[in-house]
Structure 1
């Protein structure tokens, strides 16, 4: 997720450098032809204005839809934060203060931290071996690794552990229902993230938008007077690049789980959850707060 820190100029340039360079070269070619050939077509500026207005409206709609996907992902992870805290607080309230229950509560904390990190890494297509090794015992690691949906397997372990507590009469019927509801909420948030990840934004919309932008960049050099060479080429390049940059930004926002600077900051959120849960359950040491040195947080 982009932060309030100063954003590197290279973040913007690298996204549009190739397209901007092609437009710059094309604009130079057309202006030179207009200077030395009387046969070059001159297009009324009104055509470019109408096309540019249409592109601006379509880009506004596209950016809004992309932001909705990004915001839904962020909302889902906000719910994960709340439900993670609620799960551990409920267990603290429901379990009696016995020495054995402290280690039992810590096992839930470790498992919930593992789930948060594993869910984020799975959505990004990253390896989760180190996460499992850090939080789970070897037997649980092997069982999770055999599952096709590893975050769901960790939630299942939560559910089975709660069932054992209920069978041992450490939980009442009402407490069992409350904990099951919290697990269902976590499952719902996981499902929302998986739906966003697996639902592809319509490629035809991206293709059509790019066609309109490049058509605008093609028409625009024919609309200026050839005597203003020093003004024509920069204007064509800047105006076209602005449209391309907005369209690229929308593409990045529409996929919030791709390990990009515009991602939902799942790792940072998981670190915050780990710190909160360990603070709630009196761990001897809490993880150090991570300070971001760049202009984004993952």
Structure 2
């Protein structure tokens, strides 16, 4: 996620550098043809103006759609933060004081932290071996190795542990329902993230948008006066590059789980959850808060 810090200009330039150079070279060729060739095509500026207005409206709609997907992902992870805290707080309230309460709480904390990190890494297609080794004991890791959906398997382990507490009469039926409802909320948030990840934005819409932008860049040099060369070529390049940059920004926002600077900061959120849960249960060692040195967090 981009932060409220000074963003390097190279972040924007590197996204459109190749296209901007091609447009710059193309605009130079067209201007030289208009200056030295009697057969150069002249197009009324009103055509480019109408096309540019249509592109601007379509880009606004396109960007809003992409932001909605990004924002839905952020809402889902915000709910994960709240439900994770609620799960541990409820267990602290429901379990009776005794010699095993701390170990039981720590087992749930480790599983919940593992679930948050594993869910985030799975959404980004990253290896989760180190995450499992960090938070879970060997028997749990072996059971998870056989699961096709690792985050869902961890939630199942949560549920089975809660059932064991109920069977041993450490939880009432009402308390088990409350904890089960919390697990259902976590499952819903996981499902929303998986839906966003697996639902592909229509490629035809992206293709059509790009066609309109490059059509605009193609006809714009024919609409300007070639006499003002020092103004025409930079103007064509800047206007076309602006449309391309906005379109690429929408492309980045529409996929919030790809390990890019514009991602939903799921790793940072998981680290925050780990700190909160371990602070709530009096861990002797609590991780430091993540420090972001760049202009984005993942």
Output the TM-score relative to the length of structure 2: 1.00
Deviation, 1:146, is: 1.4
Matching residue of 1:158: 158
Matching residue of 2:171: 171
Matching residue of 2:19: 19
| Runs of 4+ residues over 3 Å off in structure 1 | none
Matches within 5 A, 1:93-104: 93-104=93-104
Matching residue of 2:55: 55
Matching residue of 2:250: 250
Deviations 1:2-53, CA, capped at 9 Å, x for gaps = 0011111111011101111110000000000001001101000000000000
- Equivalents in 1 of 2:71, 2:226: separation in Å? 46
For structure 2, the residue ranges without an aligned partner over 5 or more in a row are none
Deviations 1:40-77, CA, capped at 9 Å, x for gaps = 01000000000000000000000000000000000000
Deviation, 1:215, is: 0.2
Output the TM-score relative to the length of structure 1: 1.00
- Equivalents in 2 of 1:288, 1:97: separation in Å? 29
Matching residue of 2:219: 219
Deviation, 1:224, is: 0.6
- Equivalents in 1 of 2:171, 2:96: separation in Å? 10
Matching residue of 1:196: 196
- Equivalents in 2 of 1:226, 1:289: separation in Å? 57
Deviations 1:233-289, CA, capped at 9 Å, x for gaps = 000000000000000000000000000000000000000000000000011111011
- Equivalents in 1 of 2:226, 2:80: separation in Å? 59
- Equivalents in 2 of 1:97, 1:249: separation in Å? 53
Deviation, 1:172, is: 0.3
Deviation, 1:101, is: 1.4
Deviation, 1:195, is: 0.1
- RMSD, aligned CA: 0.4
- Equivalents in 1 of 2:224, 2:9: separation in Å? 29
Matching residue of 1:106: 106
Matches within 5 A, 1:28-67: 28-67=28-67
Deviation, 1:176, is: 0.5
Deviations 1:143-164, CA, capped at 9 Å, x for gaps = 1121110000000000000000
Matching residue of 1:89: 89
- Equivalents in 1 of 2:9, 2:226: separation in Å? 32
- Equivalents in 1 of 2:70, 2:97: separation in Å? 42
Matching residue of 1:141: 141
Query: Per the alignment, in what secondary structure is the counterpart of residue 193 of structure 1?
Result: helix
Query: Per the alignment, in what secondary structure is the counterpart of residue 5 of structure 1?
Result: coil
- Equivalents in 2 of 1:69, 1:145: separation in Å? 31
Alignment length, in residue pairs?
Answer: 298
Deviation, 1:210, is: 0.2
Matching residue of 1:128: 128
Query: Per the alignment, in what secondary structure is the counterpart of residue 131 of structure 1?
Result: helix
For structure 1, the residue ranges without an aligned partner over 5 or more in a row are none
- Equivalents in 1 of 2:26, 2:250: separation in Å? 25
- Equivalents in 1 of 2:282, 2:99: separation in Å? 13
